[in-house]
Amino acid sequence: MSMIKIVVVEDEDIIRKGLIYTVDWLSMGCIVIGEAENGEEGVSKIKELKPDIIITDIKMPKKNGLEMIKELNEIYDFESIIISSYAEFKYAKEAIKLNVFDYLLKPIDEEKLEEIIEKVKLHIQDKKIYQEIKGQIKDIDQIQIIDIDYYIHSGNVQSKYTKETIEYIFKNYNSKITIDEMSDKLYISPSYLSRKFKEETGHTLNNFLNKYRIQKALELLFSGDYKVYEIAELVGFSNYKYFSSVFKKYIKCSPLEFVKNDHRVIDL
């Protein structure tokens, strides 16, 4: 992974210079390419330099950090880390709306900073992988989370219990489905169904179900007819956070990142 470029925006000179010159950025695979002492100057500098990460204070003269991030969000993609005091924590809700990655409390803890930077780097790497995938995708048919034809038409699945379980999943994926409930329906033990299903599909029932649900979620995302939280419910996830986690596991980005990069989809 190439060096991560950072711009620091902070009106307090001692904090800004401390961040730039006392932190061992190179050991973290980062380089500070610019600085600014207020939000207005920050907008200009960031437009010019296009960093991967912006580290900014909230309260600054001329334009505060959140106003600056909001303006820049409309121009290009970046990650942001905000610096705040406990008194400024009331801004957290607005920061969440702006997809701020994380925050640092003053005085800045260098270990906490390093921890956040490592997380941001992984997030940026995932986004780059996603962009590479997305750049090759023209329509939903090119995204195969699970090869449905393999299980329906190929004849590779022989056990009637596995077949009936797969057919049940295809018809009822938006409902609660567990190995215990399926084994009750088929009058066999959960352990036997679990073993046969894994032998013939290579997946646990839960993994197979989640893959199929995400495949259906992608179809709905590409249709552009639903909001993301509606899609989570439509494909059987009652918990949006869990839906987002499973989605990211298979697509290498969160549903909101997918939305952000595909204008056919309705945002939250």
pLDDT in tens, 247-265: 988 887 788 877 765 534 4
Question: Which parts of the chain are beta strand (E)?
Answer: 4-9, 30-36, 53-57, 79-84, 102-105
Within 10 angstroms of residue 49's Cβ, the number of other Cβ atoms is 13
Strand 4-9 to strand 102-105: parallel, antiparallel, or no bridges (unpaired)? unpaired
DSSP-based three-state secondary structure for 7: strand
Cα–Cα distance measured from residue 81 to residue 197, given in angstroms and rounded to the nearest whole number: 45
Of 22, 98, 99, 9, the closest CA to residue 54 belongs to: 9
User: What are the phi and psi torsion angles at 252 (to 5°)?
Assistant: 70, 20
Residue 58, pLDDT score: 86
Residue 155, pLDDT score: 67
Token pair 């695979």: residue: 29
Strand 53-57 to strand 79-84: parallel, antiparallel, or no bridges (unpaired)? parallel
Cα–Cα distance measured from residue 46 to residue 2, given in angstroms and rounded to the nearest whole number: 19
Rounded to 5°, angle at Cα 236 from 232 and 241: 45
Set out the domains of the chain in order of their start, with CATH numbers: 4-135 (3.40.50.2300), 138-268 (1.10.10.60)
Q: What is the pLDDT of residues 184-230, one digit of tens each?
A: 999 999 999 998 888 888 788 998 999 999 989 988 887 778 888 89
Helix axes of 190-201 and 205-223: crossing angle, nearest 10 degrees: 60
Residue 7, pLDDT score: 95
Residue 135, pLDDT score: 63
Helix axes of 205-223 and 179-186: crossing angle, nearest 10 degrees: 110
Joined together, the tokens standing for residue 134 give 């997305």
Parts of the chain with a pLDDT under 50: 263-268
Q: Containing H/E element for 36?
A: strand 30-36
Residue 261, pLDDT score: 59
Q: Do residues 29 and 121 lie in contact, with contact meaning Cβ atoms separated by under 8 Å?
A: yes
Q: Do residues 194 and 205 lie in contact, with contact meaning Cβ atoms separated by under 8 Å?
A: yes
Of 29, 134, 118, 45, the closest CA to residue 81 belongs to: 118
User: What are the phi and psi torsion angles at 59 (to 5°)?
Assistant: -85, 110
Q: Could you give the C-alpha distances from 193 to 78, 81, 148, in angstroms and in order?
A: 47, 48, 20
Token pair 């912006």: residue: 54
pTM value? 0.55
Q: Do residues 222 and 264 lie in contact, with contact meaning Cβ atoms separated by under 8 Å?
A: yes
Residue 102, pLDDT score: 84
Cα–Cα distance measured from residue 107 to residue 110, given in angstroms and rounded to the nearest whole number: 9
Residue 133, pLDDT score: 61
